[in-house]
């Protein structure tokens, strides 16, 4: 049974948000006896503020919500996003970067999610919004071996365990190989390291260690060492391989209004993407307050279907799905749930500020006492 207090608060927040977004905003900004708005820009900004306020209800407390631009360390145009209506970021690790006009810029490392807000989603505005979100999501791609502030336990612990295993294996290997090291040449040929492991080291063990039992034990250690090195490489930060390493992207609108050749809304949306775009850079969710919610279909280990907020996990791309709206606002509740889960899983990185500025490791004009 759902908790009645939580459900009541959530339902109230949803109804207030829907009414403000779909009705009150129009009343405030429409001229009398006219279908036009007093100021389209202010109308849009008001709706964007409503979305930021609503998403704060199910955003984890370590994050803050604002609007502005996302940046990375690239020098060209790809180093800055277009204006983002919603930016959810780690408030404890994000520097305040503002220009004289008070436009704010957020390093991609500490950004958790980016959202677009639209009124009526036409085919043209959908394509534009999807491209903008995809381009912003791809801004983590140039990051090379970044320092981690937060990573979901599964990835973080797998890496930490592999590193500890390598350290332990190295100590055991040294203790077992020690008695057989009689000169500098052997020390080099029988050294276990990230540069010297695998078949080359195994062949040297077979060549120099005649004791079959010790030989087998050493080879087993080398094989486990190589396995854990591959494991570390597999679990390194990689937005192409790990869905948690990508930022979350979403779009919220009042309604959808575009003609398609199919009645399948999920297919109609996904076909608006370029075929060259990797599936991991697609949106996570699209919420239409009037129509419903777009998510993805994932199959669990037993083949049962469930929703996913991710377009891809590991090497499996998921099918796009559409959940129709109902009178109980099921689609909005599902959106709130899956955005909350995605924000809790997204990787947060340390922003290397020196990468964003002209910087040399050592200035030749530096004076030393």
Question: Over the stretch 6-37, which tens digit does the pLDDT of each residue have?
Answer: 999 999 999 999 999 999 888 887 766 666 66
pTM of the model: 0.84
Residue 307: CA count within 13 A, CB half-sphere: 17
196 to each of 190, 239, 251, how far by Cα in Å? 8, 29, 49
Q: CB neighbours (10 Å) of residue 169?
A: 21
35's tokens: 């279908």
Mean pLDDT of the region 66-81:
86
For residue 167, is pLDDT > 80? yes
Mean pLDDT of the region 256-260:
80
pLDDT: is 331 or 96 the higher one?
331
Report the pLDDT value the prediction gives residue 154, as an integer from 0 to 100.
67
Evaluate the CA torsion angle 195, 198, 199, 202 in order and state its sign: positive
Mean pLDDT of the region 298-302:
88
- All structural domains of the chain with their residue ranges: 4-146+241-307+321-355, 153-234
pLDDT: is 34 or 325 the higher one?
325
Which of 110-124, 142-156, 210-224, 281-295 has the lowest average pLDDT?
Answer: 142-156
259's tokens: 């003609």
Residue carrying the six token digits 């009526």: 120
Mean pLDDT of the region 103-127:
95
Mean pLDDT of the region 274-280:
92
* C-alpha span between 294 and 321 (Å, rounded): 6
* C-alpha span between 76 and 152 (Å, rounded): 31
For residue 314, what pLDDT band results from cuts at 50, 70 and 90? confident
* C-alpha span between 195 and 214 (Å, rounded): 22
For residue 182, what pLDDT band results from cuts at 50, 70 and 90? confident
pLDDT: is 309 or 222 the higher one?
309
């Amino acid at each position: 049974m759902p908790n009645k207090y939580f459900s009541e608060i959530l339902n109230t927040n949803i109804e207030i948000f829907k009414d403000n977004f779909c009705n009150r905003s129009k009343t405030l900004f429409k001229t009398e006896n006219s279908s036009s708005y007093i100021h389209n820009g202010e109308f849009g900004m008001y709706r964007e503020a409503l979305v930021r306020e609503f998403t704060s209800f199910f955003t984890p407390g370590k994050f803050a919500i604002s609007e502005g631009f996302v940046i990375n360390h690239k020098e060209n145009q790809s180093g800055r996003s277009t204006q983002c209506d919603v930016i959810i970021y780690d408030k404890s690790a994000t520097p305040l970067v503002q220009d004289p006009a008070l436009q704010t810029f957020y390093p991609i490392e500490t950004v958790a999610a980016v959202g677009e807000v639209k009124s009526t989603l036409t085919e043209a505005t959908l394509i534009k919004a999807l491209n903008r979100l995809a381009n912003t999501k791809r801004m983590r791609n140039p990051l090379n071996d970044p320092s981690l502030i937060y990573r979901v336990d599964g990835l973080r612990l797998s890496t930490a365990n592999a590193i500890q295993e390598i350290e332990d294996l190295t100590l055991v290997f040294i203790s077992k190989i020690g008695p057989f090291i009689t000169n500098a040449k052997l020390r080099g040929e029988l050294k276990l390291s990230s540069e010297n492991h695998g078949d080359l080291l195994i062949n040297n063990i077979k060549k120099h260690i005649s004791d079959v039992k010790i030989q087998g034990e050493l080879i087993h250690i080398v094989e486990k060492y190589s396995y854990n090195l591959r494991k570390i490489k597999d679990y390194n930060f990689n937005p192409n391989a790990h869905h948690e390493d990508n930022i979350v992207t979403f779009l919220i609108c009042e309604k959808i209004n575009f003609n398609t050749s199919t009645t399948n809304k999920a297919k109609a949306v996904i076909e608006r993407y370029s075929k060259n775009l990797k599936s991991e850079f697609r949106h996570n969710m699209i919420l239409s307050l009037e129509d419903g919610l777009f998510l993805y279909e994932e199959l669990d280990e037993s083949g049962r279907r469930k929703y996913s907020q991710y377009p891809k996990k590991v090497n499996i791309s998921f099918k796009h799905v559409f959940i129709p709206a109902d009178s109980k606002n099921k689609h909005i509740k599902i959106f709130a749930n899956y955005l909350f889960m995605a924000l809790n899983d997204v990787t947060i990185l340390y922003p290397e500020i020196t990468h964003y500025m002209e910087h040399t490791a050592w200035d030749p004009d530096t004076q030393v006492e």
